[in-house]
Amino acid sequence: LVSRKKQKEDTIVSIRGVEVGGGSPIMIAGPCSVESYEQVRQVAAHLKTSGITVMRGGAFKPRTSPYDFQGLGIEGLRILKEVADEFGLRTISEIVDPAHIELACQYIDVIQIGARNMQNFELLKAAGDIRKPILLKRGLAATIDEFLHAAEYIVSRGNTQVMLIERGIRTYEKATRNTLDISALPILKQESHLPVLVDVTHSTGRKDILAPCAKAALAAGADGVMVEVHPNPATALSDAQQQLNFEEFTRFYDDVRNFTLVP
């Protein structure tokens, strides 16, 4: 069902009226984790002035160490909703438990399925049973074929509103946190009609190369870019190294937005 052979036209996913796919690329931004009402409010206020319409923020954080900040859980989703309502933003947040999927729909606009859960089949089935947009991340070591099959789990249950997002894969290269697989973009666009985005923050783990990587992704056909923004990255409870502060975000966004191959 996710194949181009089944459907020629691009799927356009509507995030409460904000369209992704088949048109102008979208920029999704927001903190790695929801840490407090005030923190999310500050980010939302800044994104709003930049013209961003979709904000991300993790409430359930799949961390490598059990001793690291695990997220605020449902309380984090409540904060996202309160702030999004105030600023008229749409929200994306990761859900890790199939039992939370329906409840989460009351608070957020897009359910993110994280890289570590790309083949959590019960979670994929639960995502397929709702009628809200899903942002499916590519697994850390998933092939393109496995990625598309994960999307098929969701679409085959009737939820056609699926966006794919390349977030870097694990290779021997240590210069970046993960290796951004640029070639996956044109392949995914050719193989599937679903929108394809790129998470430049998690794929590189490096602030200094975000802009060129975002431009490369757009040149390769990405329908959007996701990036992490925090009011004070040094104090962030997760991914402190790689989140942009407001000034850096504004510079990054201007740079990427003004980028076109043909003037």
- Pick the closest to residue 97 from 78, 123, 72 (CA basis): 123
Q: How far is the CB of 202 from Mn ion (least distance, A)?
A: 6
Pick the binder of ligand PEP from 94, 166, 191, 223 (CB under 6 A). Answer: 94
- Contact between 177 and ligand PEP by CB under 6 A: the answer reads no
Residue 183 sits at φ, ψ, to 5 deg, of -65, -20
Residue 158 binds which entry of Mn ion, ligand PEP, none, with Cβ cut-offs from 5 to 8 Å by kind? none
List the structure tokens of 241. 């190294």
Pick the binder of Mn ion from 10, 109, 166, 239 (CB under 5 A). Answer: 239
Helices (H) and strands (E) in the chain, counts: 9, 10
Q: What residues from 223 to 252 belong to the interface with ligand PEP (CB under 6 A)?
A: none
Angle at 126 between CA 74 and CA 60, to 5 degrees: 25
Q: How far is the CB of 208 from Mn ion (least distance, A)?
A: 17
- Contact between 58 and ligand PEP by CB under 6 A: the answer reads yes
Query: CB within 8 A of 102, min separation 6: which ones?
Result: 126, 130
- Span from 26-34, 44-52, 75-83, 126-134 in contact with Mn ion (CB under 5 A): 26-34
- Contact between 200 and ligand PEP by CB under 6 A: the answer reads no
Q: How far is the CB of 157 from ligand PEP (least distance, A)?
A: 22
Cα–Cα distance list, 127 to 40, 101, 102, 180, 210 (Å):
25, 7, 9, 26, 30
List the structure tokens of 197. 């985005």
Binding site for ligand PEP (CB under 6 A): 32, 58, 62, 94, 114-116, 137, 167, 199, 202
